[in-house]
Amino acid sequence: MKFFDLELDQPDTRKALDAAYRRVMASGRLILGPELEAFEGEFAAFCGSAHCAGVGNGLDALSLALRAAGISAGDEVIVPAHTFAATWLAVTAVGGQLKPVEVDPTTYTLDPDAVRAAIGPRTRAVIPVSLYGHPADLDPIMALAREHGLFVLEDAAQSHGAGYRGRRAGATAHATAFSFYPTKNLGALGDAGAVVTADPALDRRIRQLRNYGSERKYVHEIEGVNSRLDELQAAFLRVRLARLERNNGRRRDLADHYAEQLGDLSGLTLPCEAAWAEHVYHLFVVRTPERDRLQDELRRAGVETLIHYPVPCHLQAAFADLGMKAGDFPITETLAQEVLSLPLWPGMGRDGVNRVAGAARAALGRG
């Protein structure tokens, strides 16, 4: 069983992607044109927010949002210890000081109490990450932000369409960064990203930053970069966005099926869905102290799995200058040793889940 399938050969999707390509070819507009404008409007509406600015990738979405909010050298930014490295890299990219805190051991997202305890005089921003498809608990973090004047940037690179207390990802934080890397729930056919916000000034700033700090050609108000979402990717994303809700529904159905098949295994912790959350299962992540053995036996049974993530950010060479060491974030370090992502993609079907679950039961001695 493959870990993931982009399903580009699905006849209906293939036809629509081909038509999108021909439309852009016929228009002759390749950068900052009508496809991007249309996608930005459609995605903002999908998220339940007012504005969306397309950028080159998810990391740029995060770092440009921080810059647009005025986060700069010396400003402290609270991040979860357990996340993909890009969350941390966005902070160092703008010269910010990383302030990592532990995650909640059941939802694997920022623990609001840990955030409260970490706020200091130089803290300017918080980046809650909605990891694996499960939203971070944003309301208590927004309340802390009001109290302390912080900017809240949700990293929803893995959570397009996830529900938080009846709102979708993109509708709660001051700004929300998305990645459209091909394997994400909403994926382009290359690199792409976006920032969604209800704040028109922030949106305008991001539009300047992504295009050399310029709104009008050859007039540069601020020092920007080149990070645009091109017309071809925008056209492809419109095709994928039209199928996102259906595909998230399939992911949820398959996750339920996994839970039915694996729920009785005592040594195995399944993904949790908080009462206030609607999980979109970007990844189906299980936990067991026997992780390495389970992964080996699944590999032998022909089932591909991955580990998200095997080495926590605070133990990566790239962040050695922070002087952090093993033992600093016990929950995160235990997760790095125990998590395993099982195959999950919208078209894998219940039969696919049955195969993986059968192999997992056999590996854990409960065949």
Q: Give the residue with the Cβ less far from ligand PLP, 178 or 357.
A: 178
CB of 344 to ligand PLP, least distance (A): 15
Q: Which of 127, 160, 131 is nearest to 141 (CA)?
A: 127
Phi-psi region of 7 (alpha: psi -120 to 50; beta: other; left: phi over 0): left
181 belongs to the binding site for ligand PLP (CB under 6 A): yes
- Map residue 219 onto helix, strand or coil: strand
Selected from 49, 158, 172, 295, the binder of ligand PLP by CB under 6 A is 158
Closest to ligand PLP by CB, 84 or 212: 84
For ligand PLP, the nearest residue by Cβ is 58
Which amino acid, 115? V
Q: How far is the CB of 137 from ligand PLP (least distance, A)?
A: 16
Contact between 212 and ligand PLP per CB under 6 A: no
Give first-to-last CA distance, the chain, whole Å: 18
Nearest to 225 by CA among 86, 92, 63, 44: 63
The Cα 343–Cα 359 span in angstroms is 12
Asked if residue 288 binds ligand PLP (CB under 6 A), the reply is no
CA nearest neighbour of 277 among 109, 124, 65, 90: 109
Which of 35, 155, 203, 278 touches ligand PLP by CB under 6 A? Answer: 155
Q: Is residue 335 near ligand PLP by the rule CB under 6 A?
A: no
Stretch that binds ligand PLP, among 26-34, 54-62, 237-245, 345-353 (CB under 6 A): 54-62
Cβ neighbours of residue 319 closer than 8 Å, sequence gap 6 or more? 88, 92, 98, 313
Site for ligand PLP contains 107 (CB under 6 A):
no
87 belongs to the binding site for ligand PLP (CB under 6 A) = yes
Closer residue to ligand PLP (CB): 180 or 212: 180
Tokens 């419109």 belong to: 238
Taking the C-alpha atoms of residue 154 and residue 124, their distance in angstroms, rounded to an integer, is 14
Position 129 contacts ligand PLP (CB under 6 A): yes
Residues of this chain that bind ligand PLP (CB under 6 A): 57-59, 83-84, 86-87, 129, 155, 157-158, 179, 181, 191, 193
